Amino acid sequence: MRGLLCLIVLVLAGCASAPLIPQTTARPEQAETKPFALTGRIAVKHNSERSSAGVRWAHQITEDEILLLAPLGQTVARIRRDAQGVSLDTSDRHYTAQDTEELTHRVLGWQLPLAGLRNWVLALPAAQSEASIERDANGQVSVMRQDGWEIHYTRYATQASDSLPLRMILQREGMEIQLLIDEWEIQ
């Protein structure tokens, strides 16, 4: 009997899950100057075409790496930005350009507005141009318009005004990009 009890305790202990690591939910001061990483999903509608992928984005101040992932986690495309320009790698090709929007349009068929997106994903306007911002009752950005894009923020991690977005929809000229963020990490 005692042996059976010990066996049950060991089996149950083996089934216990690891404690969850709390993820970042609040946007830190001067977030636009800090590195971040996020994982989530992206869905794109461009004219009549639709596509979706998993996304892993590692952002540093002077460089970005975005992985677009197939449903089973294989890398479909790797987008890298640094001081020399932008590159996009697929399983069999390497492409380069000076501008992310032009390169992603040429290779993927839709424009990724990385220059603005690295701020917009934090619910902050990009510094290079004017922006129009609407806020909800909690003080969170609900709609931002900048550089011809209209960005709708439809879900945040918490109700606080400095909360990080978890779902956003970017729209411009027949194109819609939905970004759903599952996990944030900001240094």
Domain ranges of the chain: 24-186
Q: SS3 of 69, please?
A: strand
- Contact (Cβ atoms closer than 8 angstroms) between residue 149 and residue 160: no
What's the CATH fold of domain 24-186? outer membrane lipoprotein receptor (LolB), chain A (2.50.20)
Residue 37 vs residues 24, 41, 153, 168: alpha-carbon distances, Å? 10, 13, 19, 16
- Distance between CA atoms of 118 and 179, rounded to whole angstroms? 12
In this structure, the number of other CB atoms found within 10 A of the CB of residue 115 comes to 16
List pLDDT tens digits, range 158-180.
999 899 999 999 999 999 999 99
8 Å CB contact between 35 and 59? yes
This prediction's pTM: 0.84
Residue 31: the pLDDT is 81
Average pLDDT over residues 52-69: 97
